[in-house]
Chains A and B, each alone.
Chain A
Amino acid sequence: MAQFLKLSEAIEANVKDGDAVAMEGFTHLIPFAAGHEIIRQKRKRLSLIRMTPDLIYDQLIGMGCAERMTFSWGGNPGVGSLHRFRDAYQNGWPNKLEIVEHSHAAMANAYDAAAAGLPFAVFRGYRGAELPRVNPSIKEVICPYTGEKLATVPAVKLDVAIIHAQKADRKGNVLLEGIVGVQKEAVLAAKRSVVTVEEIVDELNPPSPNSVVLPGWTVKAVVAVPGGAHPSYTHGYYKRDNAFYKAWDDIARERDTFTAWMDENVLRKGPEAFAHHAKKAA
Chain B
Amino acid sequence: MRQPFTPNEMMTVAAARALTNDDVCFVGIGAPSAACNLARQTHAPDIVLIYESGTLETRPNVLPLSIGDGELCETALTTVSVPEMFRYWLQGGRITTGFLGGAQIDRFANLNTTVVGPYEKPSVRLPGGGGAPEIATSCGQIFITMAHSKRAFVEKIDFFTSLGHGEGGDSRKKLGVTTKGPTKVMTDLCVMEPDEKTKELTVVSLHPGITKEQVSAATGWQIKFATNVIETPAPNETELKVLRELHARTKAAHGGNA
Give the size range of B's interface with the partner. Answer: 35 or more
> Which DSSP category, helix, strand, loop or mixed, fits chain B's interface?
loop
- Provide the bound-state CA to CA distance between A242 and B257, in Å: 10
Number of A-B contacts (CB under 8 A): 188
The count of chain A contact residues (Cβ–Cβ below 8 Å) is: 55
Q: Does B255 contact A (CB under 8 A)?
A: yes
- Report yes or no: A26 in contact with B137, Cβ–Cβ below 8 A: no
Known contacts being A180-B54, A243-B255, is A127 close to B87, with CB within 8 Å? no
Which residues of B have CB within 8 Å of A95?
none
Name the distance in Å between A117's Cβ and chain B's nearest Cβ: 15
CB 8 Å contact bits of B104-145 with A (1 = contact, 0 = none): 000000100010000110101111111111101110000000
Q: Does B66 contact A (CB under 8 A)?
A: yes
Q: Which residues from 209 to 258 on chain A have a C-beta closer than 8 Å to any C-beta of chain B?
A: 212, 233, 235, 239-240, 242-243, 245-246
- Report yes or no: A81 in contact with B127, Cβ–Cβ below 8 A: yes
B72 (CB) vs chain A CBs: closest residue: A179
| Complex partner residue of B86 from A71, A82, A109, A233, CB under 8 angstroms | A109
Q: Does B1 contact A (CB under 8 A)?
A: no
Q: Does B254 contact A (CB under 8 A)?
A: yes
Q: Does B53 contact A (CB under 8 A)?
A: yes
Known contacts being A108-B87, A128-B172, is A181 close to B53, with CB within 8 Å? yes
Closest 5 CB pairs of A and B: A27-B68, A128-B163, A75-B127, A73-B130, A77-B66
List 30 contacting pairs A-B, 8 Å CB cutoff, sorted by A: A26-B53, A26-B54, A26-B82, A28-B68, A51-B82, A74-B127, A78-B30, A81-B126, A105-B91, A123-B91, A123-B134, A127-B137, A128-B110, A128-B136, A128-B171, A130-B114, A134-B119, A149-B176, A180-B54, A180-B81, A181-B81, A182-B83, A185-B83, A233-B70, A235-B70, A239-B70, A240-B65, A240-B70, A242-B255, A243-B254
